[in-house]
A and B are shown apart, each in its own frame.
Chain A
Amino acid sequence: MDAPEDAIADQARHMVETVPQAAALGFRLISVGDSRGSILVPWRAELVGDPATDVIASGVVTSLLDHCCGLAINSSKGERFPTATLDLRIDYMRPAAPRAAITALAHCYKMTRSIAFVRAEAWDVDPADPIATAQAAFILHGASAPR
């Protein structure tokens, strides 16, 4: 593995494991590179959104998709730098299976000097049968988010 890929992987691990909200949700880095990023969130009882079914909360999926989009952006820049979410649209196609872990994959398909456009999907068992899809726009250089 060459140095830039190592750097991307190190940044990605840092982003997925040490950001407080990501660590609190137990995120695990699955893959990163080629303007894409993938993260898994394990099921656990305190993340349940529907006590009748033990399905993980859609709010957890929101954080997962948002974080995964940021990971994809960092992967395409090859470095970690601040981003801020401008707009995030999520469609929830179906509930996840009870007690299932959720995996998300995001693709940063277009980046301008100031904006990144990202699509993402989340699934429980089969990537071809997603529980949710997302479309997002991020501003680069997070500290200068719109005021």
Chain B
Amino acid sequence: MSEAPVLNANDRLQGFLASVPYIRFLGMRCELAGDEMTAILPFAPHLIGNTMLPALHGGVIGAFLEMTALAQLSVVQHTPKVHKTIDVTIEYLRPGRALTTYARADLRKVGRRIANVTVEAWQEARGTPVAALRGHFMLSSDE
């Protein structure tokens, strides 16, 4: 394996996103500005959980937050393996409307084996988040 240069963060991120079929199923993508990553989930009809409002499925919002955490971890941890989710607590603050949703992850602590991560998602305004996640992730090693 060749040395992965530090500047390669975006390649690692895009490589992770492209490798996970479920991320393509959601239609999620990520943009990296320096070390700050924003995850983007464009609205699509198959993401709806409530047709009356309409609103995004709660599970979709939870999954998007979790995938944002895993994507952010893929930026800082070079490993070909996918890190494993241990637990997540998802707090729903507002209905997710039929709009593009954005999320950013905050790596509170990245230890040798465990990462503690919080993620917040919003739609029209960052100051009025639709949901937040707090989770623990088991970091995969290179072996």
- A: number of interface residues (CB 8 Å): 41
Residue B81 at the A interface, CB < 8 A? yes
> Quick one: given A20-B48, A85-B92, A95-B84, are A60 and B57 in contact (CB under 8 Å)?
no
Residues of A within 8 A of B84 (CB): 92, 95
The secondary structure that dominates the B interface is mixed
Residues of A within 8 A of B56 (CB): 21
Rounded to whole angstroms, the CA-CA distance of A8 and B89 in the bound complex is 30
Residue B42 at the A interface, CB < 8 A? no
Asked if B19 and A58 sit within 8 Å, CB to CB, the answer is no
- B: number of interface residues (CB 8 Å): 42
Q: B residues 47-101 with Cβ under 8 Å of A? A: 47-53, 55-60, 62-64, 66-67, 80-82, 84-95
Chain A residues at the B interface, C-beta cutoff of 8 Å: 19-24, 45-52, 56-60, 62-67, 82, 84-92, 95, 142-143, 145-147
Chain B residues at the A interface, C-beta cutoff of 8 Å: 19-22, 24-26, 45-53, 55-60, 62-64, 66-67, 80-82, 84-95
